[in-house]
Amino acid sequence: MKVPVSITVNGKQYDKMVEPRMLLVYFIREELALTGTHIGCDTSSCGSCTIHLDGKALKSCTMLAVQANGKSVTTIEGMANGEELHPLQEGFHMEHGLQCGFCTPGMIMCAADILKNNPTPTEEEIRHGLEGNFCRCTGYHNIVKSIQYAAKKMA
Amino acid sequence: MTYIGSSVKRVEDKRFITGQGRYTDDIVLPQMTYACMVRSPHAHAEIVSVDISHAEQMDGVVKIFTGKDTDAAGIGGVPCGWQVDFKNGDTMKEPPHPLLVSDKARHAGDAIAMVIAETYAQAKDAAEMVIVEYNVLPAVTNSKAARADGAPQVHADVPNNLAFDWELGNPREEVDAAIAGAHHVTTLEFINQRVICNAIEPRSAIGHFDTAYDKYTLYTSTQNPHLIRLLLCAFVLGLPEHKVRVVGPDVGGGFGSKIFHYTEEALVIWGSNQIKRPIKWTAERSESFVTDAAGRDHITTAKMAFDKDGNVLALSADTFANMGAYLSTFAPAVPTYLHGTLLQGLYTTPLINVSVDAVFTNTTAVDAYRGAGRPEATYLLERLMDTAALEMGRDPAELRLQNFIEPFDGVEQEGYVTQVALQYDSGNYAPVLKRGLEMVGYEQFRADQKAAEGTGKLLGIGFSTYIEACGIAPSAVVGALGARAGLFESAQVQVHPTGKVSVYSGSHSHGQGHETSFAQVVADKMGIPMEDVEIIHGDSDAVAFGMGTYGSRSLAVGGSAIVKSIEKVLEKGAKIAAHLLEASVEDLDYAEGKWTVRGTDKSVAFGDVSLTAYVPHNYPEGLEPGLDFSSFYDPANFTYPFGCHICIVEIDKESGVVKVKRFIAVDDVGNVINPMIVDGQIHGGLAQGIGQAFCEGAIYDESGQLVNGTYMDYVMPRADDLPSFEIDRTVTPCPHNPLGVKGAGEAGCIGATPAVVNAVMDALKGYGIHDVEMPVTSQKVWNIIHGS
């Protein structure tokens, strides 16, 4: 039995019928074909599916699509302003903060939340803020630098 | 224009930072179905019956296949790609690895049925309804225990679970005699524990049989599409190779685990022809844990003998290598030719003997994981070296310097011939250690360490000076060692009429940045802007052939193939240019994208030559039109990167918490094309190497369950577990490839692990312990400090 949901994603409202058990991440990936939000685990541990829900970072595998009914979601696809990259996207590029790119959208969404709450974080605060997101490629070294780059640019 | 050597920002970044990466699970095909595997929950169990009748009635189910179906289709299973024979010459034991098991499950996670439905949720629901009756058998997960008489037999026809035994080096009697007569012998018995590769993208495969063209397409998260196609066609399903396309699109990390040909790839391809619809399978993380080939898993006893002055006299090593339940694609090579051959290390050890038992157990298969054999060799040597220094009251850095092989460049001086079958290409080892000591401020550290005594903190420093064999590999050499494939690489450089260049490489990028670093090489060598170069990889319909990416081989082998093709392009281009300039080829110079008649201002641009090649109206007589060359490059030797890693740990005595305070890495990977990318590779390798030392490790219980098979339970380094790394490099070019490069993908992971453990041992040297088992958890350290 499918149920109706109305969710605004990257500024556009989507009205869909979904199974009540459908996780928000599957709604984003499969119903909307926004595949920048990734699934890396089944225990809400990796952070690859991090999005913003009403402006706060959230692992979209921890929530059902029906729970997001009436709410506003931002995914990685909604971060750039047209051709103009978000400072975090630019930072990850400039500081080589990504290799395979799989964790990157989740990292950027998480980092945006870190900087929103603390625009001038120390290295330690950045590392602490990222502890819900796994990266297996970079050793986090350049991810930290990427976020520092963005913090400086956004200041 | 000099792109080579500069930190050009990556051209592939844009799609990833904007969410437009295209990984296998992102691909949706018309009429696509979804597969969920029914997997054995038992590590070792006879399959009494499989009842799919209820599952078949579930909503959305399209088809269910069991082992009976694959048996009836005559599918033998996935093959092993490397043969290592017994010491006595007998062929290694190579029991089949079925796509779906029908008789017996040999590890928890062995697939029993593939349920295909309209949606993944429906497939998963129906998989729950497949009823399998098991006769559960005792399981064995430890390779040493599996060798004992009376141990559970993983395969009925493999006595004592021995896949093969193997030996290399000097005669054992000579080595043992030298050890027996030595002034000092350091002995370590240790476990190099199993780790899970854990690329963040779970494995995924889509099989598509296109009835219009009788053609198969496999999209798969692989590091080497062409090898998968070859194995699939020639060994597993007997398909015509020209009717199979394999695409490795964007791949979310590999680290070895995506080299191999997996059963699911064959299942979705075979199944898609049975149901005439595409099938997608994507692993859940818990499924990855029990099906992705794992790494390491050695149990080793090693002895290093010294004379009274601290010179190494001899080394012996005996290893039980866990193969898991089946021989994965490259598994036999890992504990043998990628491990035993590296036991010379950087030292002049005159006598070395290594012996390996490769053992089947009721666990997931073990194969190459970042470094593959070389981290195990480095751990063995470098733990021995620091332990020996401690036992003999020597400084660990000095002891190493004393035993290093003298410098040789492989040109003026011959490559160094080891006791274990290799000839190092070029090396200059002391500078990496000396630079490391300078960076760490060694004397100051020892003073700080002393000053910390009596406080609540313990400080320790650990060293690791490693060598690795990369640029895998000369085909004839590896063929003689049992490889069932060549390990060359191919590349096509296609110049378009407008002078733009498409390069088709058989290497596969899954994070390494080939689209950037390869383009730097092409642009520099051809004297054209990088923007005019596109690197294409990962699709067997686009790239003629390839052997993929692993063993730090892409630039050394794949890059060299590109250089060969560029040379051919420029050679032909010169003929066309000479014709246009009415000069002879010998009188032309090529630079900055144009051919110039030496000593004149007469020149013709690359773009004019390329246009002439495709519009050959005014053209050299007898010359074919077009400007498009392919090459195959087979390396003359492995490459041998080396380096020095130094770790400083701080241990909180009260809690046992170990903090990696600083990590210094000085690596020599030969010439460097893109320093930013090389640094990134080192960083990532270090994190994985450090991870094995202090937090990672697969844990099996007695029944054969992987008890930490989720990201909740398996500990991997997170951002706040690691420091920022302090790295530098020396440059000793490789003498035998055109770029002088050695490879950087695995170095970090090879050197780092023993440095961390050595640092912990240095911090704990007052506690009378001889060794500590990895991962060095706070609990283990607390127990040592508090004497329980």
Strand partners, B537: B505
pLDDT above 70 for B336 = yes
Under 8 Å CB-to-CB from B550, ≥6 apart: which residues?
B223, B224, B254, B256, B259, B368, B372, B472
pLDDT above 90 for B420 = yes
The verdict on a CB contact (< 8 Å) between B13 and A124 is: no
Residues 530-559 of B with CB under 8 A from A: none
Selected residue of B200, B204, B664, B695 to mutate for chain A interface (largest A Cβ count, 10 A): B200
B724 shares contact with chain A (CB less than 8 Å): yes
pLDDT above 80 for A30 = yes
The reply to whether the predicted model has a pTM over 0.90 is yes
Instruction: Give residue B533's domain range.
Output: 488-633
Nearest alpha-carbon partner for B100 in B341, B311, B274, B323:
B274
Q: Which CATH number is B664's domain given?
A: 3.30.365.10
**Residue B778: inside a domain:** yes
Check if the beta carbon of residue B233 is closer than 8 Å to that of residue B218: no
Same domain, B625 and B678: no
Three-class DSSP category at B67:
helix
Same domain, B285 and B300: no
A98 shares contact with chain B (CB less than 8 Å): yes
The verdict on a CB contact (< 8 Å) between A43 and B710 is: yes
What pLDDT, in 10s, does the model give residues B26-74? Answer: 999 999 999 999 999 999 999 999 999 999 999 999 999 999 999 999 9
Q: Which domains does chain A have, with CATH numbers?
A: 3-78 (3.10.20.30), 87-154 (1.10.150.120)
Other CB atoms within 10 A of residue B746 CB = 29
Give the pLDDT band of residue B192 (cuts 50, 70, 90).
Answer: very high
- Alpha-carbon span B285 to A48, nearest angstrom: 12
Question: Of B633, B664, B693, which closes a domain?
Answer: B633
Strands B658-668, B642-652: pairing kind:
antiparallel
The verdict on a CB contact (< 8 Å) between A42 and B710 is: yes
B726 contact residues in A (CB cutoff 8 A): none
pLDDT above 90 for B763 = yes
pLDDT above 90 for B455 = yes
The verdict on a CB contact (< 8 Å) between A100 and B199 is: yes
Mean pLDDT for the stretch of residues B252-271: 98
Same domain, B619 and B659: no
Residues 103-122 of B with CB under 8 A from A: 121
Same domain, B587 and B451: no
The verdict on a CB contact (< 8 Å) between B9 and A93 is: yes
- Alpha-carbon span A146 to A92, nearest angstrom: 5
A36 contact residues in B (CB cutoff 8 A): 18-21
pLDDT above 70 for B532 = yes
Question: Of B633, B657, B691, which closes a domain?
Answer: B633
Selected residue of A29, A45, A136, A149 to mutate for chain B interface (largest B Cβ count, 10 A): A136
- DSSP-based helix, strand, coil % in chain B, nearest 5: 30, 25, 45
- Picking from B20, B121, B680, the nearest residue to A99 by CB comes out as B680
Strand partners, B729: B667
Same domain, B101 and B224: yes
A81 shares contact with chain B (CB less than 8 Å): no
**Residue B362: inside a domain:** yes
Mean pLDDT for the stretch of residues B545-560: 95
Give φ, ψ of B684 to 5 degrees. Answer: -65, -40
pLDDT for position B448: 97
Q: How far is A89 from chain B (nearest CA, A)?
A: 6
**Residue B177: inside a domain:** no
DSSP letters spanning B155-188: STTSGGGEEEEEEEES-HHHHHHHHHT-SEEEEE
Nearest alpha-carbon partner for A26 in A54, A5, A57, A56:
A5
Sign of CA dihedral B414, B563, B748, B473: negative
Same domain, B751 and B681: yes
**Residue B165: inside a domain:** no
Using alpha carbons, list the distances in angstroms from residue B300 to B125, B304, B310, B357: 44, 13, 23, 10
**Residue B447: inside a domain:** yes
Give φ, ψ of B389 to 5 degrees. Answer: -60, -45
Check if the beta carbon of residue B153 is closer than 8 Å to that of residue B46: no
**Residue B176: inside a domain:** no
**Residue B286: inside a domain:** yes
Mean pLDDT for the stretch of residues B166-192: 98
Mean pLDDT for the stretch of residues B98-125: 98
pLDDT for position B112: 98
B252 contact residues in A (CB cutoff 8 A): 38, 40, 100-103
Quick one: closest CA in A to B727, which residue? A141
Mean pLDDT for the stretch of residues B242-252: 98
Give the pLDDT band of residue B787 (cuts 50, 70, 90).
Answer: confident
**Residue B411: inside a domain:** no
The verdict on a CB contact (< 8 Å) between B198 and A136 is: yes
Type of residue found at B184: H
The verdict on a CB contact (< 8 Å) between B199 and A108 is: no
Quick one: closest CA in A to B677, which residue? A96
pLDDT above 70 for B546 = yes
Mean pLDDT for the stretch of residues B560-578: 98
Q: How far is A99 from chain B (nearest CA, A)?
A: 4
A130 contact residues in B (CB cutoff 8 A): 718-720
Sign of CA dihedral B38, B43, B47, B51: negative
- Picking from B200, B686, B712, the nearest residue to A102 by CB comes out as B200
Q: What is the largest CA-CA distance in chain B?
A: 88
Number of domains present in the structure of chain B? 3
Residues 14-53 of A with CB under 8 A from B: 19, 21-22, 29, 33-43, 45-46, 48
Same domain, B401 and B347: yes
B132 shares contact with chain A (CB less than 8 Å): no
- Picking from B20, B686, B711, the nearest residue to A46 by CB comes out as B711
Residues 235-264 of B with CB under 8 A from A: 250-253, 255
pLDDT for position B428: 98
Same domain, B268 and B378: no
Mean model confidence pLDDT for chain B: 97
Same domain, B629 and B641: no
Beta strands in B549-624 (DSSP E): 588-591, 594-597, 603-605
Q: How far is A17 from chain B (nearest CA, A)?
A: 15
Q: How far is B573 from chain A (nearest CA, A)?
A: 36
pLDDT for position B1: 59
Q: Which CATH number is B275's domain given?
A: 3.90.1170.50
Same domain, B323 and B233: no
Same domain, B551 and B563: yes
Question: Of B576, B600, B633, which closes a domain?
Answer: B633
pLDDT above 80 for B788 = no
Check if the beta carbon of residue B581 is closer than 8 Å to that of residue B573: no
Show the DSSP H helices in B297-429 as ranges. Answer: 374-392, 396-403
Same domain, B319 and B456: yes
